[in-house]
Amino acid sequence: MLLQVTLDTPKIEECAEIVEQIHEYVDIVEVGNPLIIESGITLVGDLRNEFPQIGICADAKIVNSGHYIASRCFDHGASIVTVMGVAADQTIEGAVAAAELMGGSIMADLTGIADIALRARELEELGVRYLCAHTGYEDRQLASNPLSDARPGIARALRSVLGYDNPLRELGLIRSNTVGDALPAIVGRINIDNIDEVVAAGPELVLVGRAIVNAIAPAQAAADLREHLTNSR
């Protein structure tokens, strides 16, 4: 079970400092989409050069030009590049082709997918390596705990219309509807209070952001989460 830290909110100049503190406890560092928008993909290359031993995920959230954008991210040192699961099959096929050519992997973000089971099977067949159950930022505003099924009626209806769901349940749908070529991942306000519940659901990759990045002691926070993942083996 791998631990990926998502860098979404720190200032660009603080990223290397944060990774320096936590690198021995995490397997992958994600340059989040907000940072890619702000800095371009040069930050991916900067972190790759400074921390060659760590996997680097470029959260490009590709929705078109799959081969080109994925290739550029891999050129800059990414080992994983993200696509949106709602993207056209041709876009995803292009990104997967770039990954195969350049020795990387593609992660599909399942935000907004109405039929998780069906799309998970399709994405696996397209060659996607990681399938990520994701509670997005906007969706988090609907409840304080995205791992809970308790929702006000209006919020629950809105989640249904948008295709959002409980990420642990989504994870179960991924695991039960794929044959193992694609690996399940999960992200969405995961922290030390709910990490055991997440681990019990059996993801291959756990993505954690603010619980590490915004902690008073990021290294200790990462170490504590790592211990829970290690003890799951």
Q: In terms of residue numbers, what domain contains 12?
A: 2-152+164-231
pLDDT at 140: 44
User: Are the C-beta atoms of 48 and 83 separated by less than 8 Å?
Assistant: no
158 domain residue, yes or no: no
Read off the DSSP letter of residue 14: G
- pLDDT of 110 higher than 90: yes
CA proximity to 133, closest of 106, 158, 163, 165: 165
What whole-number distance in Å separates Cα of residue 225 and Cα of residue 3?
8
CA distances from residue 172 to 125, 143, 167, 205 in whole angstroms, order as listed: 18, 21, 9, 14
Reported as type and span, the H/E element at residue 31 is strand 28-31
In a domain, 194, yes or no: yes
Classify residue 157: in a domain, yes or no. no
220 domain residue, yes or no: yes
The structural domain count of the chain equals 1
In one-letter notation, the amino acid at residue 67 is H
Q: Is residue 117 part of a domain?
A: yes
Q: Which of 84-93, 157-166, 205-214 has the lowest mean pLDDT?
A: 157-166
Q: What is the pLDDT of residue 104?
A: 98
CATH of residue 76:
3.20.20.70
Q: What is the dihedral sign for C-alpha 206, 167, 146, 57?
A: positive
pLDDT grade for 13, boundaries at 50, 70 and 90: confident
What confidence score (pLDDT) does residue 167 get?
85
Would you state the torsion angle of the CA atoms of residues 175, 177, 181, 187, taken in this order, to the nearest 10 degrees? -40
Task: Find out whether 39 and 11 touch, Cβ atoms under 8 Å.
Answer: no
Question: Rounded to an integer, what is the distance from CA 80 to the centroid of its chain?
Answer: 10
| Cβ-contact 40, 76 below 8 angstroms | no
Residue 159 domain flag: no
pLDDT digits (tens, 9 = 90+) for 124-183: 999 999 999 986 544 444 444 555 554 445 545 544 544 445 788 899 999 999 999 999
Instruction: Tell me whether residue 47 is in a domain.
Output: yes
Give me the torsion for CA of 216, 218, 221, 227, rounded to 10°: -160
